[in-house]
Chain A
């Protein structure tokens, strides 16, 4: 059977009841909600965010209509968030997009297959396993590209590539879930019976999901919620003139090219 079109969850249903898989998904979701809420309550970051937005509004030079606000929010979601524009042009952005969309596809594919097609005799449309496997592969590629080559502490600070810091918790757990998921799906397809590696990667897949979702309070996971909020606030501030106290862009033609900004931040 072609691995890419086979639903690993319906094969798993031969030994694990679908309701257990679904409960697992709910548990992971609960971890995210609980971890994020705990982070928000403990750090009071949302309180800061709204206080700051209120303070900034005092410096607005114009009032935005709700139509304008809606347009700005929509554009921010579609462009700034949807294309990770804050990373500028280059490898970091591409790697992030690979990882971001890969993860979205992987999670959506997981939820759909676990809730709709996880019984043993399910007839899974080819689309979903393809999305699931593609998403996992994109996440592994984007995440690994970032982790091995693009981490700023390695690239600009010359820290050794094998140094693992707390900030790596999220990205490494993410790569782990996708990688172990892919290997699990591949080995499961080979129908190894009771060979020693038959269940190993399923177990690793489960553990890495616990680490990824359970670690929300300690990792950068929740930043995927904060950053979009920050992007929206920034664009609204740019539009209403408060602009975080920054001067406006100069009214002059772009005629001189780039100077020191043309080079990557790696001068050692």
Chain B
């Protein structure tokens, strides 16, 4: 194998990840930094990369302020309620007040938005969601990023961030490799905006053969959003707040349009409305939170999970009535075709026509992400005008590392962003990054070749492991000296599933299991030194695995730290089977020491936007 060439690039704003958040950041950065060098680095091809590859059928975050439909504080209350009180309300408000301008731009750019025939407004699916024909959503926003960037690098996986050697705790860029050419890429940057993917595939999925590809969140979301800041020593928050989704069985097709637009509902196998049955028991667990409207997502999951465990399954969605209307039938199918084609494939293969059959639902394995109905991610500064002083340290969306910003899945505490909110958060991070540069905060960054040459060896080591180790055996996949990326991934998934609250234990875990899980993860981390990659594609899989493993350690540490069951339906602490507002009405944060690998945990206060007259004192 020829020695890998090193390619250098210097820039002002480096956006890691070209998904919704990354394209938003790249686009906006040009407006504020006309003379700056703006680069976006994407692991795949920016035209179809990220969670929106196949498109979306709804934009789930739009206020509609122009028509008086919602105000930003309404969205904050909604998100806070859905997350059982624990969100960063400053970040949520900030995102919500800007998201409308993002959505209006998408409309101008050519994204087909459905319109309400009577009012002429965007067709609402629900209070926060509007319906779109979004098959080409990603190519459209990618075009916007391409027009702003100096260069878009595709097929490069960023594996590590670079730290400044002249000033402590300051970012200096990032490194990675090109999975086509094999070249090593060193990006020296004044600011880095991490806008990479959240984490799928860290828990064992329900289908483990070919079907493991059909995860709810994209299989290429390998947790770089977390692993990159964690490895650099940035503070993370709410990493225990994993999400479990109740979706159509096997295909994990979306149910939003069904519930909200088609007005379908769920039933157990005996045709009963099972949710009511679990009200009392849930109230014992979480108190008054069950009485909030709308019922928090995790509590609806909880009822579902309990019902199935009690033998009431399979739970299904009653569609036969709604699908008699041809318009609703079209919406029901196009909902999949523009967003999760796999669900249409499942139904076609099993002869499920919702006009005649009520399709089954299931709860997924857990995912960790920051842009959907949960908010795991980096602990970032809020906006200057509204953030409480404990939440602000200079620049909006900046992590606890100077010059390192986050957007989208990367940012913790700002839930219910979805696609439009992530793009918006990218815009916010980009503006702040440019301001940081203009304030001369990025002057004098130093990176010696020792730092990136060491990293080069680390990055390509899996290929060395394979080539050398391969000499030991005649052939096949079993080697005593290296493991393949898929072997490592399946081991990671089994550990997280059995010890950290996966589907096998019905999302249950406890102190003993979590500690055992950390031990097992520790052994896995050691063995990851011996991952063997046969080619550059496998090398990419190897680094996806490493990012997932680091994310998993952080998730497990957080899950151990929070001694309560805050989100039944997402996971349970068997040793603390109750919501505990007295001790745990707070956010959790962690920092990993880059030298020792040890995580240190802290509690952070939660601030709520409350009118004087509405507030209730904590007891």
Contact = CB atoms under 8 A, between A and B. Distances in A.
Q: Do A and B come from one complex?
A: yes
Interface of A: 157-158, 259-260, 267-268
Interface of B: 45-48, 136, 139, 142-143, 154-156, 178-182
A260 B181 contact: no
B139 A260 contact: yes
Contacts of A260: 47-48, 139, 142
A267 B181 contact: no
B383 to A, nearest CB: 35
Contacts, number: 24
Do most interface residues of chain A lie in helix, strand or loop, or is the interface mixed? loop
B180 A268 contact: yes
Given A158-B178, A158-B182, A267-B155, 13 more contacts: A158-B180, A158-B181, A260-B47, A260-B142, A267-B45, A267-B47, A267-B154, A268-B155, A268-B156, A268-B178, A268-B179, A268-B180, A268-B181
Contact of B154 (A157, A259, A268): A268
24 contacts: A157-B180, A158-B178, A158-B180, A158-B181, A158-B182, A259-B136, A259-B139, A259-B143, A260-B47, A260-B48, A260-B139, A260-B142, A267-B45, A267-B46, A267-B47, A267-B154, A267-B155, A268-B154, A268-B155, A268-B156, A268-B178, A268-B179, A268-B180, A268-B181
Nearest to A263: B47
A267 B46 CA distance: 9
A213 B40 CA distance: 50
Contacts of A259: 136, 139, 143
Contacts of B47: 260, 267
A158 to B, nearest CB: 4
A15 B143 CA distance: 67
A158 B2 CA distance: 14
A24 B130 CA distance: 73
A260 B143 CA distance: 9
7 smallest A-B Cβ distances: which pairs? A158-B180, A268-B155, A268-B180, A267-B154, A260-B47, A158-B181, A260-B139
A92 B560 CA distance: 59
Contacts of A157: 180
B53 to A, nearest CB: 12
A255 to B, nearest CB: 12
A86 to B, nearest CB: 23
Contacts of B136: 259
A259 B45 CA distance: 14
Nearest to B179: A268
Contacts of B45: 267
Contacts of B156: 268
Nearest to B153: A268
Contacts of A268: 154-156, 178-181
A132 to B, nearest CB: 41
A260 B146 CA distance: 12
Contacts of B179: 268
A194 B201 CA distance: 71
A192 to B, nearest CB: 41
Q: Which of B142, B181, B182 has the most CB of A within 10 A?
A: B181
A171 to B, nearest CB: 22
A268 B155 CA distance: 5
A97 B445 CA distance: 56
A173 B46 CA distance: 39
Contacts of B182: 158
